[in-house]
Amino acid sequence: MPFFKKRTMLSQVQHAETIVGVGVNLSGRIDAKQDIQVNGTFTGEIVAERDAIIGDRGEVNGPISAKNITVAGTVNGDINVVNELDLLPSGKIFGNISAKVLSIKPGGILNGKCVMHAETKDQKIVKPTYET
């Protein structure tokens, strides 16, 4: 069964090539060519060419850029997603987001500005800009 058909089983993901486990604290910058899942605490920037998953016990303190992002834990930082951002019931985002598709499940918390963008051919990850 593909992971994205059942997003509630974040702790049992078998498809992420890089996993930051529960109880692990990392800091720095992660450049991932494949999927990444954070179940522990990461401080710094995450740039993933594919998908990023923040598990229900995961915490990211810094910006995240990826093709698709699922948040069940906490993100303290801006998010830039090429396609879809899913904020699950246990998820919290404290920062600005840029996404093509945004899905917030009941209980999910978003505290920041949101910019929705249209799909363009060969779209690359870019940092969002916001008017003040």
Please list the pLDDT of the chain residue by residue as tens digits (132 residues). Answer: 344 444 444 444 446 778 888 888 999 999 999 999 999 999 999 999 999 999 999 999 999 999 999 999 999 999 999 999 999 999 999 999 999 999 999 999 999 999 998 765 555 555 555 555
Which residue in the block uniquely carries the two structure tokens 């509630």? Answer: 8
Which of 73, 59, 64, 28 shows the shortest CA–CA distance to 46?
Answer: 64
Distance CA 6, CA 104 (A): 16
Domain boundaries, the chain: 3-106
Distance CA 125, CA 85 (A): 14
pTM of the full predicted structure?
A: 0.79
